């Protein structure tokens, strides 16, 4: 968990805003470190966490979280963490075997054009009544993490279906259950319009940005490669989500970062001696 990032976002495990939809995006960079941060952050905040891991195995997330001082195995045993291992469950759907039972959440793989109703129903059923923990423990507000939602496009799901899924998740988790949603989506290559392509990643990004309350965009340095600084993050609070009577927008915050083996350092732009 990155304390400097918590300070930038004005949040801590003891005090954070509920009902937020946080969108994490990257372009020609890797924003995975932010997903690991939010996973550890909400587990330490004693939230009930449902993690849709669509691109990595549970062992991968467990290894990174262990370095950050959080045990996913313990969180699972206590019922605090529910992990959907998309890679494993996808094989169970695509290559059925008698010895393994496929998760109903991945039923959309049989007919991607049908949408993500099964995945949404999985989210709703697992997080409804999330305060009731196993062994008599009570958890805080529910949290949905998705890494990463853009991979659904490569599985044949339309961008419209993904946006419908995120909309219903936000309505259920953020509005009804007063929890939070964190989603990662990726855009490869330079920023450009998806000309004539309503199902491309750029249009998915636009739709998700319209839905979210906080957008964290990770990208490389405009000056090119630097050994001491790995990239920069633009943090933006969306105007239409702010509860301000004057209607003014909070300016975007741009800061640079360096990922370490057991954490990350963040710098206000221009404060690092490595790069301006």
Residue 275 lies in a domain: no
Residue 276 lies in a domain: no
pLDDT at 191: 61
Residue 57 lies in a domain: yes
Written as six digits, the tokens of 206 are 């636009």
Give the structural domain span for 151.
Answer: 3-190+203-224
Q: How confident is the model at residue 4 (pLDDT cuts 50, 70, 90)?
A: confident
49 has pLDDT over 50: yes
Beta-carbon contacts of 225 under 8 Å, excluding residues fewer than 6 positions away, are: none
pLDDT at 77: 94
pLDDT at 125: 94
pLDDT, tens digit, for every residue of 202-254?
999 999 999 999 999 998 787 766 667 778 889 888 754 555 445 555 668 88
pLDDT at 274: 47
Residue 39 C-alpha from the chain's centroid:
9
pTM: 0.87
Residue 264 lies in a domain: no
Residue 241 lies in a domain: no
Q: CB-side exposure of 148: number of CA atoms within 13 Å? A: 23
State how many domains the chain has.
1
Residue 271 lies in a domain: no
Residue 71 lies in a domain: yes
What average pLDDT does this structure show over 149-156? 92
CATH number at residue 82: 3.40.50.300
Residue 16 lies in a domain: yes
């Amino acid at each position: 968990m990155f304390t400097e990032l918590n300070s930038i976002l004005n949040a801590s495990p003891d005090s954070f805003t509920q009902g937020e939809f946080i969108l994490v995006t990257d372009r020609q960079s890797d924003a995975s470190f932010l997903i690991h941060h939010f996973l550890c952050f909400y587990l330490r905040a004693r939230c009930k966490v449902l993690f849709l891991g669509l691109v990595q195995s549970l062992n991968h997330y467990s290894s990174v979280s262990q370095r950050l001082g959080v045990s996913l195995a313990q969180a699972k045993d206590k019922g605090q963490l529910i992990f959907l291992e998309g890679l494993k469950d996808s094989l169970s759907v695509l290559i059925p075997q008698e010895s393994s039972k496929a998760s109903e959440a991945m039923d959309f793989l049989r007919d991607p054009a049908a949408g993500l109703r099964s995945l949404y129903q999985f989210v709703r059923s697992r997080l409804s009544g999330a305060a009731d923990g196993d062994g008599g423990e009570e958890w805080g507000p529910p949290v949905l993490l998705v890494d990463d939602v853009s991979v659904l496009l490569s599985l044949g799901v339309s961008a419209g279906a993904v946006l419908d899924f995120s909309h219903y998740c936000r309505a259920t988790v953020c509005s009804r259950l007063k929890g939070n949603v964190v989603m990662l989506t990726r855009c490869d290559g330079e920023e450009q319009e998806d000309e004539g392509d309503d199902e491309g990643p750029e249009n998915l990004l636009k739709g998700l940005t319209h839905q979210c309350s906080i957008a964290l965009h990770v990208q490389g340095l405009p000056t090119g490669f630097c050994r001491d600084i790995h990239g920069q993050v633009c943090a933006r609070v969306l105007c239409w989500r702010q509860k301000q009577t004057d209607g003014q927008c909070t300016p975007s915050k741009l800061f640079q970062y360096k990922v370490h083996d057991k954490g990350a350092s963040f710098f206000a732009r221009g404060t690092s001696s490595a790069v301006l």
